[in-house]
């Protein structure tokens, strides 16, 4: 039986492609433009676009399981239209194509940004509702709306399961991702200051393993949070310095200073084509979800995330092999 992956050339897609192939699965990799992450893999690659329903119908034909990973991720609110089109409209097209092609199971990957952080002192779990307007980043809003579409489709008979990972880091980050660039910025001393707050960091390979498990054991219409270890940005900088041996003291910028700076950065033209380290949405993202539970995924999917230090060691070893650490 064949599995198809949207967003196969992204960070999670690169990890999941390798996980499925290692498990002996027949995999069809959907690629929009950049396919560097898939070079050398013995799998079928097809061109597809989330906004082109015909291309999805062709790609899903004869497929048993669809892993929907493709998304538009941005920390700049001015890219809201692109995020809505790809994350929301694209997910709607994926759902329709799954139905039309008689796909047996859809594994939809959402984001912790789509989940409401009801009580900062209480662990976020699957009982938390999806985030509404004003509660999360623009990216998180579009992912929450897309997740509602999937839940509605599951209620209407589509066999679909939802995975909700936290901030993913790890090897196979070819582009690299926003968080991969943040790690490289720390290594190359491109961040002159840090701000309060942090993320729950999870290994992309653990998320890929959970996706494979969810395809076989996840309950239809169920959501599974996949978390790892929370570390502040300052703690991550220290951990990266210890692992790589490149240490640099950085001042901690108070939020009352960072907030107006972030607002200015987000309004500047041209940033949709670049990676701004701190924007209003970036500051919002690092201020939420301090406590997260993944007990449901552990119990039902056998989810067991590896230590963060191991993830970072593997990540920087891989970055070095790819030439990302060259000065």
pTM for the full model?
0.93
3-state secondary structure of 124: strand
According to the model, what pLDDT value does residue 96 have?
Answer: 98
Handedness of CA 237, 242, 246, 247 (dihedral sign): positive
Average pLDDT over residues 161-169: 97
Q: What DSSP line would sit under 141-170, residue for residue? A: HHHHHHHHHHHHHHHTT--EEEEEE-EEE-
According to the model, what pLDDT value does residue 59 have?
Answer: 97
According to the model, what pLDDT value does residue 74 have?
Answer: 83
Helix (H) or strand (E) holding 27: strand 26-31
How do residues 31-55 score in pLDDT, each as one tens digit? 987 788 898 898 999 999 999 999 9
Angle (CA) 163 6 63, round 5°: 95
CB neighbour list of residue 126: distance below 8 Å, 6 or more residues apart: 164, 222, 223, 224, 225, 296
C-alpha 95/C-alpha 150 separation (Å) is 7
Structural domains of the chain in order of their starting residue, each with its CATH number: 2-173+200-229+290-307 (3.40.50.720)
According to the model, what pLDDT value does residue 90 have?
Answer: 97
| Residue 95 main-chain phi, psi, to 5 deg | -60, -45
How do residues 262-309 score in pLDDT, each as one tens digit? 444 444 444 444 455 567 777 777 778 889 999 999 999 999 999 999
pLDDT at 244 exceeding the cut of 60: yes
102-115 as b/e: b if 16+ CB within 10 A: ebebbbbbbbbbbb
According to the model, what pLDDT value does residue 111 have?
Answer: 97
3-state secondary structure of 199: strand
How do residues 233-243 score in pLDDT, each as one tens digit? 899 999 999 99
According to the model, what pLDDT value does residue 11 have?
Answer: 96
How do residues 181-211 score in pLDDT, each as one tens digit? 999 999 998 877 788 888 999 999 999 999 9
What average pLDDT does the chain have? 89
C-alpha 76/C-alpha 15 separation (Å) is 26
For residue 276, count CB atoms less than 10 angstroms from its CB and return exposed for 0-12, middle for 13-18, buried for 19 or more.
middle
According to the model, what pLDDT value does residue 76 have?
Answer: 76
Handedness of CA 79, 4, 201, 319 (dihedral sign): negative
pLDDT at 124 exceeding the cut of 70: yes
According to the model, what pLDDT value does residue 19 have?
Answer: 98
According to the model, what pLDDT value does residue 212 have?
Answer: 98
Q: Region of 221 please: left (phi>0), alpha (psi -120 to 50) or beta.
A: left
According to the model, what pLDDT value does residue 268 have?
Answer: 45
More confident residue, 255 or 14: 14
According to the model, what pLDDT value does residue 150 have?
Answer: 98
According to the model, what pLDDT value does residue 249 have?
Answer: 72
Strand ranges across the sheet with 167-169: 167-169, 198-203, 229-232
According to the model, what pLDDT value does residue 10 have?
Answer: 95
Q: Are 131 and 144 in contact (CB under 8 A)?
A: yes
C-alpha 224/C-alpha 210 separation (Å) is 9
3-state secondary structure of 237: helix
C-alpha 321/C-alpha 317 separation (Å) is 6
According to the model, what pLDDT value does residue 135 have?
Answer: 86
Q: Are 45 and 31 in contact (CB under 8 A)?
A: yes
């Amino acid at each position: 039986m064949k599995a198809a992956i949207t967003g196969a050339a992204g960070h999670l897609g690169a990890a999941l492609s390798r996980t499925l192939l290692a498990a002996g699965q027949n995999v069809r990799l959907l690629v929009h433009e950049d396919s560097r992450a898939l070079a050398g893999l013995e799998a079928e690659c097809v061109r597809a676009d989330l906004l082109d329903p015909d291309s999805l119908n062709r790609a899903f034909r004869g497929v048993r399981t669809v892993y929907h990973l493709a998304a538009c991720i941005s920390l700049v609110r001015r890219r809201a239209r692109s995020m809505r089109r790809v994350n929301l409209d694209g997910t709607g097209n994926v759902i329709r194509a799954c139905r039309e092609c008689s796909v047996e199971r859809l594994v939809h990957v959402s984001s912790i940004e789509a989940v409401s952080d009801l009580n900062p002192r209480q662990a976020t779990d699957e009982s938390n509702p999806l985030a509404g307007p004003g509660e999360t980043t623009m990216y998180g809003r579009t992912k929450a709306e897309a997740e509602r579409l999937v839940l509605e489709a599951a209620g209407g008979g589509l066999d679909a399961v939802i995975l909700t990972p936290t901030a993913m880091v790890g090897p196979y980050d070819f582009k690299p991702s926003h968080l991969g660039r943040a790690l490289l910025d720390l290594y190359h001393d491109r961040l002159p200051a840090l701000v309060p707050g942090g993320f729950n960091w999870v290994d992309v390979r653990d998320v890929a393993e959970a996706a494979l498990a969810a395809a076989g054991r996840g309950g239809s219409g169920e959501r599974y949070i996949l978390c790892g270890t929370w570390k502040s940005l300052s703690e991550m900088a220290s951990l990266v310095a210890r692992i790589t041996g490149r240490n640099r003291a950085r001042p901690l910028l108070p939020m009352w200073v960072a907030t107006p700076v972030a607002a200015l950065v987000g309004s500047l033209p041209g940033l949709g084509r670049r990676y701004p380290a701190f924007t209003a949405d970036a500051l919002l993202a690092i201020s939420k979800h301090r406590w997260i539970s993944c007990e449901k995924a552990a119990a039902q999917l056998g989810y067991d995330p590896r230590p963060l230090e191991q993830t970072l060691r593997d990540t920087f070893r891989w970055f070095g092999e790819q030439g990302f650490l060259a000065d």
